[in-house]
Amino acid sequence: MRSLWIKIHLYVAAFFLPMLLAMATSGGLYLLGVKGSVDSTPVSLSATKPLSADSGTLDSDARELLNANGIDHDFEYIKVSGKKFITRPTSADYYELIIHENEVQATLNQPDLIKSLIELHKGHGPLFFKDLQKLMALGLLIVLLSGFWLGPLCRSTSTDSPNDNRWGIGISRTGLYHLIC
């Protein structure tokens, strides 16, 4: 049973390692103030169509508006923020459609790599990536809990302390107690 848990621990950790590194890197950069940038370009719209946040067909209305202006843009859904409509995901090129005096103003936004990673980190990526992030959270819990359970059962080759062999992580039970409490 122990060897099965070790394999589960290692395979789950290896599978999610690239995603965990990306999340740790983007989160760390964001906390350090490196938030990336977005190149914004105003787009003129010759054909307009009224957009309403209350419309049940907002996504298709926005697609029709963009297509009528020769813009072929694939998006999954629209985030409504007041009179601003933002196509999602924002981890790739996206459009902002702003209603200003019954006129729609469009802006093409192109995030750089860092901004894209931060948008993914925030959950503003594709829907499948959001599901993958939920799965990653479960995988991280499995890795942490199995590591915490397996760690004390490991046999160490160190003989520095009589408790090292029992805990396998170079910490005595007393030290672990003081660490936790």
Name the least confident of 40-49, 89-98, 131-140, 160-169.
160-169
pLDDT for the residue numbered 173: 52
Token pair belonging to 76:
């999954």
Instruction: State the pLDDT confidence band at 85, using cuts at 50, 70 and 90.
Output: very high
pLDDT for the residue numbered 180: 57
Predicted confidence (pLDDT) at residue 86 exceeds the cutoff of 70? yes
The β-bridge relationship of strands 84-88 and 38-43 is unpaired
pTM value is 0.73
Mean pLDDT of 159-168: 48
Distance CA 113, CA 124 (A): 14
pLDDT for the residue numbered 164: 47
Are both 57 and 80 inside the same structural domain?
yes
DSSP 76: S
Domain of 99 in residue numbering reads as: 38-111
Residues near 82 by Cβ (< 8 Å), separated by ≥ 6?
none
**Separation of CA 71 from chain center:** 27
- Among 71, 86, 111, the domain boundary falls at 111
Are both 42 and 29 inside the same structural domain?
no
Are both 19 and 42 inside the same structural domain?
no
What is the number of other CB atoms lying within 10 angstroms of the CB of residue 95? 20
Backbone angles phi, psi at 91, to 5 degrees: -85, -10
Are both 48 and 101 inside the same structural domain?
yes
3-state secondary structure of 168: coil
